[in-house]
Chain A
Amino acid sequence: MRLVQRGDHAAFDALVLRHMRRGFSIAFRILGQREDAEDLVQDALLAALEAIDGFQPGKPFGPWFYRIVVNRAYNARKTRALRSTEEIPAAAAASSPSPEQSAVRADLRRRLAKAMESLSERQRLIVRLFELEGFTGAEIAEILKIRPGTVRWDLHRARRILRDSLGEEHG
């Protein structure tokens, strides 16, 4: 990190390589558009470089950088007109299940989508970061700058609501 602070290109490139993909995934989960997420992760990396002197040595760079991504993604979503993130993914449509399976699956997704909408924005992000991105509760707390206990509580509530929406399909 000190090398980056001194202007070392190779050290900064290494940081980019290590954190760009995960930063993109987080941005995409909030923004729902690839191009927006690509632009955002670029901007976030440069913003991190600009603010690198404020980074506390000894702390992990990842959560600090992902917090920049999350904050910028929320701001971007407020200001840009974005498409809905609840579109049917192409991959799901391409798996060509039977009509009955499609109907069940569509019903499941509709119920889950409705349950997701009932969650707060923070709960949605927490459950996605935990279940889909594989972050730990402590990392999520660091990224969102909230207490780990709050993360666990939000995660607990969100998962209970989402599991209820899945009904018999779950567990």
Chain B
Amino acid sequence: MSDAIGHDRDPPRDAVLASALADLGPEPPTDAVDWDRLEQAVAQRAREQLAGRNPGSIWWQPVAAWARPAIPLGVAAGIALLLVVLRLPAEPPEPAEPPEPLLLGDEIAESVYRGDPALLLRAALTGEDEIP
């Protein structure tokens, strides 16, 4: 039997050699081990460590649980905000100039004072502050 080194695959097992090796040293006495006791001992010693790993005691786990629905919601809100921003006009409308105060002529002012608005309405429609 020869070993094929240089290949990626393993050489075949050598049953004769394996038997001789097993005969040479004591084989692991697996039948003599009380596996249940050993398993319980490991479980008991591991209890404290496992308790320390309880999900509630790890600070980032609630955050991670909350983040799962929050991330898509955040993305959706971001897209909506972007759309709103894109629909806004590029420049805000210029504020309207305040109307020029209508300076009333003495005759009009007097007619208003008298309770006759006809001259005032005419002046407002024509934009003239004096009666021609």
- B35 partner residues in chain A, CB cutoff 8 A: 20-21
Query: Are B50 and A20 touching (Cβ within 8 A)?
Result: no
The contact of B27 among A89, A130, A155, A156, by CB within 8 Å, is A89
Which residues of A lie under 8 Å from residue B16 when comparing CB positions? Answer: 166, 169-171
B83 within 8 A of A: no
Decide: A32 near B46, CB < 8 A? Known: A6-B55, A156-B3, A159-B14.
no
A42 contacts across to B, CB distance below 8 A? 38, 41-42, 45
Measured between beta carbons, the chain A residues less than 8 angstroms from B50 are 7-9, 12, 49
Query: Does A160 sit within 8 A of B, measured CB to CB?
Result: yes
CA distance A130 to B13 in the complex (A): 8
Note all chain A residues with C-beta closer than 8 A to B45.
42, 46
User: Which of B18-26, B92-100, B108-116, B122-130 has 4 or more CB atoms under 8 Å from chain A?
Assistant: B18-26
Residue B132 interfacial (CB < 8 Å)? no
Knowing A46-B49, A156-B3 are in contact, say whether A128-B21 is a contact too (CB < 8 A).
Answer: yes
Given A21-B30, A42-B38, A162-B17: A113 touches B24 (CB 8 Å cut-off): yes
Which among B17, B33, B41 is the interface contact of A159 at CB below 8 angstroms? B17
Count chain A CB atoms within 10 A of each CB in B17, B32, B50 and give the residue with the most: B17
Whether the pair B46, A49 counts as a contact (CB closer than 8 A) is yes
Q: Give A111 Cβ to nearest chain B Cβ, in Å.
A: 10
Assembly CA distance A45 to B39 (angstroms): 10
> When the two chains form the complex, which single residue of A16, A49, A89, A134 contacts B25, counting CB atoms closer than 8 Å?
A89
- Chain A, interface residues (CB within 8 Å), range: 35 or more
Interface assignment of B84: CB less than 8 Å from any CB of chain A: no
Give the CA-CA distance A109 to B19 in the complex, in Å.
11
Residue of A37, A45, A50, A166 ringed by the most chain B CB atoms within 10 A: A45
- Interface presence of A28 (CB below 8 A): yes
Please determine whether A156 and B11 come into contact, CB atoms closer than 8 angstroms: yes
The docked-state distance in angstroms from the alpha carbon of A36 to that of B29 is: 12
The minimal Cβ–Cβ distance linking B103 to chain A, given in whole angstroms, is: 83
Q: List the B residue with the shortest CB-CB distance to A153.
A: B5
In the complex, what residue of chain A is closest to B15 when comparing beta carbons? A131
Closest to A28 in B: B28
Q: Is the CB of B24 within 8 A of A34?
A: no
Do B10 and A16 touch across chains, with their CB atoms under 8 A apart?
no
A38 with B33, Cβ < 8 A, contacts A7-B53, A13-B39 known: yes
* Contact in complex: B28, A24 (CB < 8 Å): yes
